[in-house]
Amino acid sequence: HAKDSGRGHYQFFTPDMSQRAFDALHMESQLREAIAGEQFVLHYQPQLSLADGRLVGLEALVRWQHPQRGLIGPDAFVPFAEARGLIAGIGRWVLCEACRQLKAWFGAGWPMVPVAVNLSAIEFRQPSLVQDITEILAAAGLAPQYLEIELTESVLMDPGGFALGTLSKLKALGVGLAIDDFGTGYSSLAYLKRYPIDKLKIDRSFVCDIPGDGDDVAITTAIVQMAHSLKLLTVAEGVETPEQRALLQSLGCDEYQGYLIARPMDTAALQAWMAQRSDNAVQPSSNSPSP
């Protein structure tokens, strides 16, 4: 193909490849600008109790508000940021913003439920993490019990003992600890009894084909039973249908989130969602104006 192009020197760089190299370079500098300029926004997805439908939490999910390309989801930049050593700057902003926002909502009379923040394994291994979180909570004026950290199983695979130390310190501080995407990683179940974890979030891949897929029903059942034996709460991720919810309810799963309740929402949409809920909860039957 070198002859075909007549530019042998560049034969290994197809237009596609050079475009990708350019994109990566471009992406890195743009992400640095985004961190400096705080071009991020958090969307929030409600978590409800399966027993009684009450609001039990909000998960904060980051998006990049790119000046030209619009809103970019985390899967398109978080792994890249991790690889380039840029995730700590994003993660710090996420923690600060989630705590600040929750405190403001409490001030406005919203339900006192925790906010869940996703932490990548790289962020978790920062030696200053516990100190950083302590300071961020203090700066926001938020009690530690209102912050929940979501970690993936990869942080648990740590024979060196660093994870146990950090998890114990976070637990002592009072923040909640949840394992995200549970069942998809390779962590040993022995870690679950060793680590001070509060919650397992059952991965969406197991939830999406229940109740039809018998294998997924078996896995979900086993996770809920094991979690309860270990005194852990269970949260089902990615619940989209009433049938999924009904099965999870019958299994005794504690909480759920997913499109059946709501997509992750910006603060304006969440506010509207909250307002509609409290309207529904407080039926003004006696004092509503008669026509």
Q: Say how far apart CA 16 and CA 27 lie, in whole Å.
A: 16
Nearest distance, CB of residue 88 and ligand C2E, angstroms:
10
For binding to ligand C2E (CB under 6 A), which residues are involved?
Answer: 45, 61-62, 73-75, 78, 91, 94, 118-120, 150, 180-181, 204, 237-240, 258-259, 264
Q: Which partner, ligand C2E, Mg ion, none, binds residue 244 by CB below 5 to 8 Å per kind? A: none
How far apart are alpha carbons 118 and 97 in whole angstroms? 13
State whether residue 113 is helix, strand or coil.
Answer: coil
- Look at the chain and count its residues: 291
Task: Tell the smallest beta-carbon distance from residue 266 to ligand C2E (Å).
Answer: 12
The site for Mg ion (CB under 5 A) is made up of 118, 150, 180-181, 237
Query: Taking phi first (over 0 means left), then psi (-120 to 50 degrees means alpha), and beta for anything else, what does residue 123 get?
Result: alpha
Asked if residue 197 lies in contact with residue 232, where contact means CB atoms within 8 angstroms, the answer is yes
Contact of residue 94 among Mg ion, ligand C2E, none (CB under 5-8 Å per partner type): ligand C2E
Longest CA–CA separation in the chain, Å: 85
Name the residue among 255, 277, 268, 274 with its Cα closest to residue 116.
Answer: 255
User: CB 34 → ligand C2E: shortest distance, Å?
Assistant: 13
Identify which of residues 32 and 41 has a Cβ nearer to Mg ion in the complex. Answer: 41
Q: How far is the CB of 60 from Mg ion (least distance, A)?
A: 9
Residue in this structure with the two tokens 């060196």, named with its chain if needed: 160
* Residue 120 interacting entry, from ligand C2E, Mg ion, none, C-beta within 5 to 8 Å by type: ligand C2E
Q: CB 271 → ligand C2E: shortest distance, Å? A: 19
Instruction: Tell me the residue nearest to ligand C2E as measured from the CB.
Output: 258
Nearer to ligand C2E, 89 or 252 (CB): 89
User: How far is it, in rounded angstroms, from Cα 229 to Cα 223?
Assistant: 10
